[in-house]
Structure 1
Amino acid sequence: MERASNDGLGSLDSFSTPDGASYSYYSLEKLASQGYTSIDKLPLTIKLFLENLLRTSSQESQSEIDRLARWSPQDAGKYEFPWMPARVLLQDFTGVPVVVDLAAMRSAAARMGKDPKKINPLVPTDLVIDHSVQVDFFGTRMSFYQNVELEYQRNGERYALLRWAQQAFDNFRVVPPGTGIVHQVNLEYLAKVVQVSTHGNKQIAYPDTLVGTDSHTTMVNGLSVLGWGVGGIEAEAVQLGQPMYIVCPEVIGFKIIGEMKSGTTATDLVLTITQILRQRGVVDKFVEFFGPGLDKLSVADRATISNMCPEYGATAAIWPIDDETLRYLRMTGRSDELVNLVEHYAKLQGIFRYSDSPEAIYSDVIELDLSTVEPSMAGPRRPQDRVALQDVRRSFYDTFGSLIRAHNEQPSGAVSTSSGTATLEAKRVVDVRLDGQHGEVSDGSVVIAAITSCTNTSNPSVMLAAGLVAKKAVERGLLSKPWVKTSLAPGSQVVTDYLERSGLLPFLEALRFHLVGYGCTTCIGNSGAILGPVAEAVQENELVVAAVLSGNRNFEGRINPLVRAAYLASPPLVVVYALAGTVDLDLTKDPVAYDPNGQPVFLHDIWPTQEELNEVLEKSVSGDSFRKIYSNVFSGDDHWRNLPVPQGELYSWDPDSTYVQEPPYFDGMSIDPEPLQDIHGARVLALLGDSVTTDHISPAGSIPRNSPAGQYLMEKGVPPVQFNSFGSRRGNHEVMMRGTFGNIRLRNMLVPDREGNWTIHIPSGEVTSIYEAAMRYKDEGVPLIVIAGKEYGTGSSRDWAAKGPNLLGVKAVIAESFERIHRSNLIGMGVLPLQFLNGQNAQSLGLSGKELYHISGITHIEKPRSKVSVVAVREDGSQVEFEALARIDTPKELEYYKHGGVLQYVLRSLIKKD
């Protein structure tokens, strides 16, 4: 997506690599000769944005280039600029609705007599299927095959859609199930660091950048690739050639010095950094790592840290290109041509890190000495709550001691923390029988021990350390406790390959850490059920039990409904806690377990030395593994290849499908947009307060049987046991619109005595579900609005938080303020965001939500941030009149809104091309 002319700021230059390849590129160094003398002091983040502007902007954007080339910390938040990522990355939960929308655009084009083959992603897009595998089976060598079989049974319709998309669309690739986690596949194979595209007779080299529909897209920042997670609507817009608009960022420098102590892991480091950055406050900021300590951290270590961006709140957390970057590219089997290109481009562009590189100018600087990092876990409820290893027991009882005492009905039983040996008097112990084995489950018992998630399974050092711990434990005669559900869910097939090469996989299997699948499992709640007798003991005795996992999220209730405490830990510590079977111990002092001779086995007895780890790393991990595994990454197994797949350029919509339905966004759409219309006779669907999040609006989690979505599925013949989740049914708008505003904690002030998806139909006064009221209003021809307070739409960027209201008939949202991305998403779906003027809100204006609303001035919106007039007619005929600001902030957003949304805008643009 290079600009047509290279006149103005910057210039197109060229270079050749030692292998004889020639490339052109937009030179940042040349800007310095045009008066921008501080280019070399800019943060890497700003340099990458600046190169993107030079390459993709038109002559009209010279002022944007000028401002960004003069970036200083004081500029943060003062202006916006366009950014066009090089590619888009999807996972299956968030990617399915994106594919559904593309398929619907093709169907709409065909109905209008246009060539549907014109509808393709304009930006290269990869979708990795990794979010649907569950740990139903574990503990045997058959577990992986049994879980895959169930995965295909549950998701056949969704996978058939993706198989069709794989062959129907250009610029679109699908990595089938059972291959790996999206972020690890991205790190190990998809990411190039430097991309190349052909324009005329030139090969243009430029930085690899991306957006992804998973919040942990930031993992690839560890490989010096700038990218982060966005919602589906933003991803679709980029995919279809529309730039994102970036607010001039704050860039926080994180200086690393020193060296890690023996016995500490990358997981300990990432939990330390997560705690530091969460406490400092880096939400919506960019973090950039620098300093001499980088020489001591591998790309796998760096990626582990960048993966946790959502947990410490930063937009992205990028590392520089340096010798370690080149080493990782070689280790993972990338070609010599690519490695040469990355090295020469980065050095010419001034973005290669040398030991004597000048320190950039940052908005703020944080410093960490690696030698201060200590063995740690995080929990028992939040990833930012780092706990030193010796304090894990204390943290458990500090958090749950009062609850345990209440269940124990022993108010005198006290939790003692002053001695550092937090214990509970008369701890409850329940005998359980497990396949002929006897076990004792109590408060603090570990019932799930999972080596899972992209955070750690991409890092050979911690994965092989887990194997070495298992080896030493087995040699001492130890076994995992029978009540622990163990699982090994690596991020890619490369992991099992090097575990096999090292000879360590059999030792993990001896402790029942058998392969259960390649994908996001326990970390996203796909842990499956815990053992039946254990579940009964927990429920009947209200035990507070724990999970230990190598993931990145541990919010209460997320891992398993019966697990209250969840700790994030390194893979070797996951193995250790499976051996111990409880968090009610101090691993720095207490035995992990006792061997068959009754002798205590301590942590230091089974923990590998750095020399042992280095030896197994050297002999087990090689580029051959990566080249072999990724040689057929898009092919899939027999399940994938044998799926029944709709043929042709148009998707064959099945009216009986409960997973995939054609959405109505393009129904009756004309080739040219209709003129904008004012909103007359509107009713309020929901009157909401402050900080209504996208979690309140967008459907998520399980589908309640008595909800509108549950009733719909049962009417379609789906029994509740097969409801699956809202996430799995994101490709069916009928399910999703019925779950919109369905959060059980939503407070709609039209029904102040209730929580959940309730509202009042006006003028009848009947209390009903939001969905049922919306459909009734639709039948009556009544448009709808939502009124809200401050920070409407905060939280994760969820496309259905905008799609759902659109389908319910919401034409506008009037709020005191909007979260930036959600505001943009509303416009992208044709919903007008209106903001009360300063000092005004629903309360100050005396609005009850029962008025009839007329909004005029929409037809005359010709520029961003115009004002409209609102008249609210009360039931007694009196009126409230006020102005509101239309939060259409850019000319491009105005174009989207005039077309009814970004999808309609793009569809019309594509089908009008010759």
Structure 2
Amino acid sequence: MIKLHGEGAYLLHGDELYFDNKESNEELKAKLGKEHIDKEEAKKQTIAYSILQNHNKSKDSENLNIKFDALASHDITFVGIIQTARASGLTKFPIPYVLTNCHNSLCAVGGTINEDDHLFGLSAAKKYGGIYVPPHLAVIHQYMREMMAGCGKMILGSDSHTRYGALGTMAIGEGGGELVKQLLSQTYDISYPGVIGIYLTGKPQKGIGPQDVALAIIGEVFKNGFVKNKVMEFVGPGIENLSVEYRTGIDVMTTETTCLTSIWKTDSKVCDYLELHGRKDDYKELNPGSVAYYDGIVYVDLSKIKSMIAMPFHPSNVYTIEELNTNLYDILDKVERDAQKRMSNKNLNFSLKDKIRDNRLYVEQGCIAGCAGGNYENICEASSILKGKSIGNDEFTLNVYPSSQPVYYSLAQNGIAGELMQTGAIVKTAFCGPCFGGGDTPANNSLSIRHTTRNFPNREGSKPNDDQLSYVALMDARSIAATAANKGFVTAATDLDVNYNIPKYYFNKTIYDNRVYSAFDKGNSDEELRFGPNIKNWPDMPELADNLILKVCSLIKDPVTTTDELIPSGDASSYRSNPLKLSEFTLSRKDPEYVGRSKQIQKSEKDRLVGKSPFDANRDLEKVFNVVKEEFGSINTSNTGIGSMIYAVKPGDGSAREQAASCQKVLGGYANIAREYATKRYRSNLINWGVLPFVMEDEPQFECDDYIFIPNVRKAVTERPAEIDAYVVKGSLKKFSVKIDKLTEKEVNILLDGCLINYNKTDK
């Protein structure tokens, strides 16, 4: 089905693979009639290389300074981004910036909060020259596919699933700080990434959808980090057997591999897609050069992919549905045991085996939604499976969210929406809620199957600390429909004989023309921003002190910690325009005591910064200072910052949301220590908010509530030594070492200044 080749490979004429070993190299040289293969030149023949270098503003092909062609944000990120940019001197949007409203769309939640954010976005588009897409009109990534993506472009989005590679666009999801840099005409600075070839061959079986292919790939590459922070470049003869929407359905899920971005070779089908959307001029054929070198290969035989399911609580926890149904009790027992280890509330009764009825797995809910599931072809094929059937009138429900109003319009025009409604399915408007816990939260102890992007703990909106937990498994829309046809019993689409019907799609641009506010390069500086009472400015943040004393306010030993665990989505999302209010939710579902611990030590730092004694708020701190002074006599409350820190093994998997870092900083967080960071974007978020991203290979010799002293930390950030001395303070000093992996000059200065806002205020 899928094979990984880590030795690297040459791709000849975009079709033939030659793996980087002696035998294959000799074969390739004979084929080319050459005595030597120039690997470095072949690396420059990838599609990724040409796009990255075309956007690189530095003269160094290894250390890139990227400027993007467009930006995109939704309504739980754009307020904070614009507020940060305003604090840094923003006067206009220098490139097209699309502000969509597809996350906090339900304005019944949070009083006036959500609609206040929407109107702030509209006023910002008027003032700075932006593009504003009102609620329910389109989910962010569908709008960008339909209206903004184009071959050879680069787009940066403040949502982790910013992926338009199938349309020839190298798109990257990052935290808001990176978008702020683009808004201030600065650059996105990265080392040239490795490029992994995703070689597709064969043709999918009937009933196999893009989510099946995506989950199969994720299951092979996530845990071993095979594509982590690299570019996934899709090549091979199998691509021609996939429609463009099928390709985008695979592509959007590449985020769950932890890759940096993705790109696909393009063909006449992409040209037709862009022409259908009135943008034929945005097409050009993209192919690797005659001999292109890849740092690794993921070989995917599409014909052997089966109907897949990702069990709770991660998209990489994959099985074939056939395997699940054959080994039902064993697999469910393993999932239960693994999940129980992750639960901070050990009193929760996590149970899946009670879903077994007559030796079959029963689910209470199905959802087909968002940027992954809600596209036209997915819904049409789901409707084909359900045609003439009923989902029943018991617990099982099915909700379908077309990804944009143009998609919904076409489904209504050709009768597909009506056919779905007759089955008992509910067809709703474009909304990302089922993907991040903002809608369709199941009942306690219920299992939902979803064609969405993630199934992290609590991602569906439950609150385990309040003894309420439900869970999600990811499946393709076709198998969800097959399950619905069997009234909630998990069924692979390949088990059914279906005559699939996909009526021709007609894109109706008038829907956007009549509602989208489009004013790029036409901003009016006299326009007043519209603030609601929940929209607050960022608090002042101090620069990095010479030394640090850190209190360990949370210590997490799970193999991976997601951004949803660091700062929950769902009900907390309404407060993302209010830094102080949102920070109250930090780690609330993983370590409920974290906020209180952080606030306590933050009191001491606030006192210190205004010249008061930091010991009045925390008498233990005075003892810590006294112990440190025995060896480091020069430290005092003037040159030593006091803050909180988090230890986690591998934090930051998942969402691009910068609030996973900014909330820590708002609460006085000055550092993370980790064995490694799950994604580049989480580490970047830490840096942009002035939180030191330490790494440490050894097991921690400290516990929660311990204190850590780091002398000369400002000097260490500036000089970047291989190792940095740190000390656990427990009556005496116990030395250990941390380090900070490669920092750019800009990142060094951001950390020294205390955060990106401070960096831009000082014009460094």
TM-score w.r.t. length of structure 2: 0.76
Bigger mean CA offset, 278-287 vs 556-565: 556-565
Match of 2:450 among 546, 549, 564: 549
1:470-492: CA deviations, max 9, x gaps?
4343xxxx453343222221111
Name the residue aligned to 1:901. Answer: 755
Q: Partner of 1:664: helix, strand, or coil?
A: coil
CA distance in 2, matches of 1:375, 1:40: 35
Tell me if 1:120 matches 2:88: no
Q: What is aligned with 2:427?
A: 515
Q: Could you report, residue by residue, the CA deviation over 1:373-414 in whole angstroms, capped at 9, with x for unpaired residues?
A: 334444355433444444453465434469999xxxxxxxxx
Alpha-carbon RMSD across the aligned residues, in angstroms, is: 4.2
Equivalent pair of 2:566/2:590 in contact (CA under 8 Å): no
How far apart are residue 90 of structure 1 and its match? Answer: 1.0
CA contact (8 A) 1:550 1:571 kept: yes
2:663 maps to 1:804: yes
**Corresponding residue number in structure 1 for 2:580:** 734
Specify the SS of the correspondent of 1:779: helix
**Residue type matched to 1:238 in 2?**
Q
Identity of aligned residues (%): 21
Larger Rg belongs to: 1
Counterpart of 2:583, as a letter, is M
- Give the match for residue 660 of structure 1: 535
Cα distance in 2 for partners of 1:244, 1:319 equals 22
Return the offset for 1:177: 0.5
Of 290, 304, 308, the residue aligned with 1:372 is 304
What is the aligned counterpart of 1:855 among 685, 694, 711?
711
Residue in 2 aligned with 1:617? 503
Secondary structure class of the residue paired with 2:315: coil
1:784 to 621, 635, 642: 642
Measured in 2, the distance between the counterparts of 1:392 and 1:229 equals 33
2:227 maps to amino acid = V
Q: Indicate whether 1:830 and 2:690 are aligned.
A: yes
Q: CA deviation at 1:516?
A: 2.0
Pairwise CA distance, 1:88: 1.8
Q: How does 1:706-717 map to 2 (within 5 A)?
A: none
User: Within 1, Cα distance between the matches of 2:553 and 2:43?
Assistant: 52
1:217 counterpart SS class: coil
Q: Which has the higher contact order (CA 8 A, sep 6+)?
A: 2
Does 1:296 pair with 2:206?
A: no
Distance (Å, rounded) in 1 between the aligned partners of 2:737 and 2:368: 56
> Matches of 1:155 and 1:516 in 2, distance apart?
19
Please list every run of 5 or more consecutive structure 2 residues that lacks an aligned counterpart in the other structure.
1-37, 338-351, 463-467, 519-523, 615-640
Partners of 1:851 and 1:775 in 2: how far apart? 16
The separation in 1 between residues aligned to 2:516 and 2:529, in whole angstroms, is 21
Q: Deviations over 1:343-374 (max 9, x none)?
A: 3xx5xxxx447xxx635211122322322233
2:254 aligns to what? 309
* Paired position in structure 1 for 2:123: 164
Q: Kindly report which structure 2 residues correspond to 1:561-600, keeping only aligned pairs within 5 A, or say none.
A: 561=462, 564=470, 566-583=472-489
Aligned residue in 2 for 1:505: 417
- The 1-side partners of 2:230 and 2:250 are apart by 16
Contact between 2:553 and 2:594, CA under 8 Å: does it hold in 1? no
Q: CA deviation at 1:443?
A: 8.6
* Contact 2:71 2:156 survives alignment (8 Å): yes
Q: CA separation of 1:896/1:296 partners in 2, compared to 1, >3 Å: closer, same or farther?
A: same
Equivalent residue, structure 2, for 1:889: 743
Structure 1 segment 420-819 matched on structure 2, within 5 A: 444-458=361-375, 460-473=376-389, 478=390, 480-528=392-440, 545-555=446-456, 557-559=458-460, 561=462, 564=470, 566-583=472-489, 603-604=496-497, 607-609=498-500, 613=501, 616-618=502-504, 621-622=505-506, 625-635=507-517, 649=527, 651=529, 657=533, 659-665=534-540, 678-679=546-547, 682=549, 684=551, 686=553, 688=555, 693=561, 695=563, 698-701=566-569, 725-740=571-586, 742-746=587-591, 756-757=593-594, 769-779=597-607, 781=609, 782=614, 783-786=641-644, 793-796=651-654, 797-811=656-670
1:258 aligns with 2:202: yes
Deviations 1:482-539 (A, max 9, x none): 4322222111112222212322221111123333221113222233355xxxx5xxx6
Report the equivalent of 1:273.
217
For residues 256 and 689 of structure 2, the distance between their equivalents in structure 1, rounded to whole angstroms, comes to 29
Say whether the 8 Å CA contact 1:290–1:319 is kept in structure 2: yes
1:414 counterpart residue number? none
Q: How far apart are the structure 1 equivalents of 2:207 and 2:189? A: 44
Listed as ranges, the gaps of 5+ residues in structure 1 are 1-34, 69-79, 107-117, 135-147, 194-206, 406-422, 430-441, 590-602, 637-645, 668-673, 703-724, 747-754, 759-767
How far did 1:729 drift? 0.5
TM-score when normalising by structure 1: 0.64
How many angstroms does 1:242 deviate by? Answer: 2.4
Instruction: Determine the C-alpha separation between the residues in 2 that align with 1:102 and 1:282.
Output: 32
CA separation of 1:39 and 1:155: change in aligned 2, threshold 3 A: same
Does the 8 A contact of 2:194 with 2:231 survive in 1? yes
CA distance in 2, matches of 1:869, 1:277: 32
Question: Aligned partners of 1:773 and 1:552: how far apart in 2?
Answer: 37
Shift of 1:255: 1.6
Q: Distance in 2 between matches of 1:164 and 1:887?
A: 40
**C-alpha distance 906-398 of structure 1, shift in aligned 2 (>3 A):** same
Q: Which residue does the alignment assign to 2:629?
A: none
User: Cα distance 1:426–1:97, how it changes in 2: closer, same or farther (>3 A)?
Assistant: closer
| Cα distance in 2, alignment partners of residues 851 and 617 from structure 1 | 64
Equivalent residue, structure 2, for 1:139: none
2:234/2:264 contact within 8 Å kept:
yes
CA change 1:862–1:308 in 2 (3 A) is closer
Alignment of 1:143-292 (within 5 A): 155-170=114-129, 172-193=130-151, 207-218=152-163, 220-278=164-222, 281-292=226-237
Return the alpha-carbon distance in structure 1 between the equivalents of residues 693 and 207 of structure 2. 53
Whether the 8 Å CA contact 1:81–1:245 is kept in 2: the answer is yes
Q: CA deviation at 1:131?
A: 1.0
1:682-702 Cα offsets, whole Å, 9 max, x none, are 453537476784649843246
Partner Cα separation in structure 2 for residue 583 and residue 426 of structure 1: 10
* Structure 2 counterpart of 1:358, from 290, 293, 300: 290
Question: 1:455 touches 1:551 (CA, 8 Å); kept in 2?
Answer: yes
**One-letter code aligned to 2:245:** A
Give the Cα–Cα distance (whole angstroms) in 2 for the partners of residues 572 and 886 of structure 1: 46
| Partner Cα distance (2:307, 2:739) in 1 | 52
SS in 2 for 1:82: strand
**Does the residue aligned with 2:50 lie in a helix, a strand or coil?**
helix
Residues 830-878 of structure 1 deviation map (CA, whole Å, 9 limit, x = unaligned): 3455667x98x973xx9997669573473x67955159987969686x6
Alpha-carbon offset, residue 184 of structure 1: 0.9
Label 1:890 to 1:427 Cα distance change in 2 as closer, same or farther (>3 A).
closer
Partner deviation per Cα, 1:107-154 (whole Å, 9 max, x = no partner): xxxxxxxxxxx53333432121111246xxxxxxxxxxxxx7669856
User: 1:882: Cα distance to partner?
Assistant: 8.3
Q: How many residues align?
A: 669
1:86 to 69, 90, 96: 69
Instruction: Supply the AA of the counterpart residue of 2:247.
Output: R
1:824/1:700 CA distance change after superposition, 3 Å: same
SS of the equivalent of 1:289 reads: strand
Aligned to 1:497, the other structure's residue is in SS state helix
Name the residue aligned to 2:342: none
* 2:85 is equivalent to residue 102 of structure 1: yes
